[in-house]
Structure 1
Amino acid sequence: MTGISFAAAVPMLIEVGQRLDARGWAPATAGNYSARLDDGSFAVTVSGTHKGRLTPDGIMRVDAAGRGLTPGRPSAETALHLALYRLFPGTGAVLHGHSPHAVGLSRAAGEAGEWVFRGHEMLKAFPGVVSHEGEVRLPMVDNSQDMAEIEAAVRSALVEPGVAPAYLIRSHGLYAWGADLDEAERVLEATEWLIAAELAEQNFREALR
């Protein structure tokens, strides 16, 4: 997969951070974003930065092992980004948000290993989905301070048929990815919309009883 230059990635990641923060998906310093670069390295947000107020200093380069190539300390979850780039070589960008709806669903669903979306027109926002008929599965995995543990727990689910290019870490947040930043943002936004719609439907059903 051919990436973009670091100079091009920086303003794009800054703009993505502003848009996701405006939606309430990047509270405090939560979230982290990355993009594949054309030299084989990766642009990633620096740990502890507010994603709605990113500056060029809040984005650094790391190699495929997560080692810093420019000043800064990469996000603690950089390993999860790199795992997705390895697992899906066509991935050009990874976005991780912390919306209250996504976190709420992951907690309300108890120990469920996935949430299934069925019949939504919005399903067509996912790559390769051409009809609202059918279903798309969103894996869910327990949180851990050990990134290798999270990766091991979710890896097999991500490659199964019918799975979205996204997954939820319980009580934590949502990961989404795509061929480039635009696609990754579309997947994140579509998944967040689907979660909100499902929760709204449940609330209306309760109210109409």
Structure 2
Amino acid sequence: MSTLSFSQAQDAIVAVGRWLDGKGWAPATSGNYSARLDDGSIAVTVSGRHKGRLTRDDVMRVNAEGVSLDGKKPSAETALHLALYRLFPACGAVLHSHSATAVGLSRATPGAGYTFTGHEMLKALPGIATHETSVVLPIVPNSQDMAELDAAITPHLLVPGAIPAYLIRSHGLYGWGQDMAEAERVIEAVEWMIAAELAERSFR
């Protein structure tokens, strides 16, 4: 159960927005971030805000059904965040990045996933203790229909050994964790492995 207050979540989301923007992973007003609160509601970024310039006023609250609790308009993809919180009761934070490399990989990769093998960075993902393994990053087709996206990705997330991340083709990366720090670590590790894979291709 989360012990995060709304005030703490506001500060964490503002900070992560600046971090992701500094990495070049939140261009224009793309991306959305959320955290589960101690009262069961969800703190989430307000729709259409530049993530590198967030203030506390750009973070709002919704209930478990996505209904605004303060009259502000939540990010269009809030439903995808809520689906993860319902699916994984231990999930405490969800991040959605839009790096050029992640989008490029999703566009260049046919099929429903991309396999990472042998990366030391795999050990940054929850539950993985060795580089001598392989994991699949699911890739689902983009859609403006959040229910359609949720239905497409959920079966992949329930596969034994599934990692807490997935790509929406031509769109971006979702990653989550028990708290904001773990969600950041997942996003950074997966983004790094994507960049490393693309760099490897350039040397072939």
Shared fold, TM over 0.5: yes
Are residue 197 (structure 1) and residue 169 (structure 2) matched?
A: no
Equivalent residue letter for 1:183: E
After the TM superposition, list the runs of 4 or more consecutive aligned residues in structure 1 that deviate by more than 2 angstroms.
none
Counterpart in the other structure of 1:163:
162
Q: What TM-score do the two structures reach when normalised by structure 1?
A: 0.96
The percent identity for this pair of structures is 66
Between the aligned partners of 1:92 and 1:105, the Cα distance in structure 2 is 27
Cα distance in 1 between the residues matched to 2:79 and 2:157? 16
User: What letter is aligned with 1:16?
Assistant: V
Describe the superposition over 1:30-55 as per-residue Cα deviations: whole angstroms up to 9, x where unpaired: 00000000001000000000000001
In 2, distance between residues paired with 1:88 and 1:79? Answer: 14
The corresponding residue for 1:29 is 29
Structure 2 residue identity aligned to 1:179:
Q
Q: Offset at 1:71?
A: 3.0
8 Å CA contact retained: 1:135, 1:162: no
Distance in 1, Cα, partners of 2:19 & 2:7: 20
Give me the TM-score of the superposition, normalised by structure 2.
0.99
State how many pairs are aligned.
Answer: 204
Structure 1 counterpart of 2:158, one-letter code: V
> 1:174 is aligned with what amino acid?
L
**CA–CA separation in structure 1 for the residues paired with 2:106 and 2:138:** 10
Any unmatched runs of 5+ in structure 2? none
RMSD: 0.7
| Contact 1:93–1:177 under 8 Å retained in 2 | yes
Structure 1: gaps spanning 5 or more residues: none
Aligned to 1:76: 76
Find the aligned partners of 1:125 and 1:164 in 2 and give their Cα distance: 11
Tell me which residue corresponds to 1:185.
Answer: 184
Task: Give the whole-Å Cα distance in 1 for the aligned partners of 2:160 and 2:122.
Answer: 15
Match of 1:95 in 2: 95
